[in-house]
Homo-oligomer: A and B are copies of this chain.
Amino acid sequence: MSKPAGDLETVRAYFNTHDQLARQLGIEVVEVAPGRARARMRLEQKHYNGVSVAHGGAIFTLADLAFAAASNTHGTVALAINANISYLKAATAGVLTAEAEELCLTPKLGTYSVRIINEEQETIAVFQGTVYRKKDPLPLREG
């Protein structure tokens, strides 16, 4: 049974339950507010590249989850059309956190900035992304 799309807690639960890649990589959406979201990933063996440093793809996916959650807080489906990431600092251990902030929202488009930080609050990567907003309501289901 569907819950109302406006329910932010439902959005958060939706990502944590239904996003298969997030589950696979141990990424959790920990907070959602209108146009904002925060996601978290504790670095493990599986997130590494060949030299035991957090993989660019893992950091991107963490940022992408915060971006997706933030852009899907308005009740309709938002699809990523573009993303840009700059890597600032290597990460090797601990919990990484991605915080997505909405810079702009029109009926059709949304633009977001995401900062990825380590436990020492150092920015390790910055991400900028754009979504296309469909008119379809979010397909929220019970977990």
Q: Which residues on A are within 8 Å of B, measured CB to CB?
A: 14-15, 17-21, 23-25, 45-51, 55-58, 60-61, 64-65, 68, 79-89, 103-104, 108-109, 111, 113, 123, 126, 128, 130, 132, 139
Residues of chain B contacted by A89 (CB below 8 angstroms) = 104
CB-CB under 8 A from A50, the residues of chain B are: 14-15, 17-20, 139
Bound CA span A45–B22, Å: 12
Given known pairs A19-B50, A47-B21, the reply for A82 and B82 (CB within 8 Å) is yes
Chain B nearest CB, measured from A139 CB (Å): 6
Checking B20, B55, B104 against A20 with a beta-carbon cut-off of 8 angstroms, the contacting residue is B55
CB neighbours of A19 from chain B (8 A): 48-50, 55
A130–B86 CB distance below 8 A: yes
Complex Cα distance, B99 from A42, in Å, reads 30
Cα–Cα, bound, A139→B49 (Å):
12
* 3 smallest beta-carbon distances between A and B, as pairs: A57-B61, A18-B50, A88-B104
- Give, as a whole number of angstroms, the nearest-CB distance from A143 to chain B: 11
Q: How far is the CA of A61 from the CA of B25 in the complex (A)?
A: 12
In the complex, are the beta carbons of B88 and A85 less than 8 A apart? no
Is B111 a contact partner of A86 (Cβ separation < 8 A)? Answer: yes
Apart from A15-B50, A19-B48, A49-B68, list 11 A-B contacts with CB within 8 A: A20-B46, A20-B55, A21-B47, A21-B49, A57-B57, A82-B85, A82-B86, A84-B85, A86-B103, A88-B104, A113-B126
